[in-house]
Amino acid sequence: MNTTTRRRLTVGLTIALTSTVSFAFFCPPQYQEETVAPAFASAASAISAAMTGVDTALNAEMVMYSQQLLSAVAVLTKQKAVAADQMSDANRTAGQATAIALNTLSQTERVKQARFEYGAEFGQGYQPCTVYAGRNLIANRDAEMGEERRNRIMSEVISAPGRYVDPIQAQQVLATEHQTYFCTADQVKSGMCDKVGPMPGASVTAATLFEPTMEADQLYRAKVAFVNNVVGLPDAPIPASAANTQAAAAYALAKAQKDALMSPAITSLKELQLEYTGVTAAHGGSDIPMSLRVDREVQRYLGNSPEYESWAKVMSAQNQRGLLVEMLKVKALDLVLMEKQYRQYERMEANLSTLVGGQLRKRSEQASGAADSAARDQVKGQIK
């Protein structure tokens, strides 16, 4: 088959097909409208109702989801705000806790430093409260003993300066007291006493003054009796009828001179008596003898005593300030002892001055006697 023939066949087929399609389009098959139209309407209504339901359900779900989303956003925002507040509070609390901790550490360090520098364990020496109370008591008692010494001289010494007492009555009192408390075995043998006293010979022994005792003990009575035995009997009073006579004036002057010469010795004896006696002062109450209290202070630093061992242990733990404080306490005690020694020297000086005064008075009396003798001799020579 040639090319021309093929072309003819192709054109013929094309025309035939085109004619068939055109006929089908312009002349479709016919159907029954009364039967199909209601079905189409019903289907359209169903489709429309379904689409409306889907749209309504979708709208409701979108509203619900929108509200949930808004609630979730609000909760998230609140949670973030609460979390921020909690973080802020946590940071503030942490900052405050840190500041408090740092302040506590600083205070602790200052307290430790103050405790180390000024505390009783390391910076105040040995038992500062106890030592201070003891030193204060020593100072107060020492100040009171001056007034107490003067009062006891006038109340306990029968021959006190300025006192006039019947010597016979005073002698009887001293003798009765001696027979009751101080009689010795030899005196009992001689018939002077009926029995040996509880403190034989204590009223005539100087060692009695140096025995530590309390005022309520019988040994204190022996100390008073010893001073009275040393001083001697008192001077008799002047009769009232002779008070304005020349002899009474001379007697009073001689009595004053004798009392002045004896006063330093009486004062020294009473000082020793009170130094070794725990007396009840007018304002300070009762306490152990001053000699014992001072001796305890000395033994703390120099003596072989349990308190010295305790003091040495405390000193091994003291810092520099504590050692300096304790050194000052030792120096203060040294000053107290030096002051006591100074007063002893003053009493010694007064007693020596009394001896010199007695010698001068004796020489004056001798010179006066020699002058009287020379005057008498001259009168006798003139008579002859």
Q: How confident is the model at residue 229 (pLDDT cuts 50, 70, 90)?
A: very high
Per mean pLDDT, which range of 79-88, 125-134, 153-162, 311-320 is the poorest?
A: 79-88
Higher pLDDT, 123 or 373: 123
Q: What is the pLDDT of residue 210?
A: 93
Q: What is the pLDDT of residue 374?
A: 65
Per-residue pLDDT for 4 more than 70?
no
Q: What is the pLDDT of residue 26?
A: 46
Per-residue pLDDT for 166 more than 50?
yes
Q: What is the pLDDT of residue 33?
A: 63
Tokens of 194: 């009926």
Q: What is the pLDDT of residue 1?
A: 55
Dihedral sign, Cα of residue 204, residue 205, residue 210, residue 216:
negative
CA atoms within 13 A on the CB side of 371: 6
Taking only the tens place, the pLDDT of each residue in 256-290 is 988 998 999 999 999 999 999 988 876 666 788 99
Strands 285-286 and 280-281: antiparallel
Per-residue pLDDT for 113 more than 60?
yes
Higher pLDDT, 34 or 337: 337
Q: What is the pLDDT of residue 227?
A: 95
Taking only the tens place, the pLDDT of each residue in 12-39 is 555 555 555 444 444 555 555 666 777 7
Any idea which residue has 């008579």 for tokens? 383
Q: What is the pLDDT of residue 202?
A: 93
Q: What is the pLDDT of residue 24?
A: 46
Taking only the tens place, the pLDDT of each residue in 190-216 is 988 889 999 999 999 999 999 999 998
What per-residue string of b and e applies to 1-19 under the rule 16 or more CB within 10 Å gives b?
A: eeeeeeeeeeeeeeeeeee
**What percent of the chain stands above pLDDT 70?**
85
CA distance 115 to 109: 10
Could you give the C-alpha distances from 19 to 12, 16, 124, 259, 336, in angstroms and in order? Answer: 11, 5, 137, 185, 157
Taking only the tens place, the pLDDT of each residue in 36-84 is 777 777 878 888 888 888 888 888 888 888 888 888 888 888 888 887 8
290-302 vs 128-156: helix axis angle to the nearest 10? Answer: 150
CA distance 24 to 15: 15
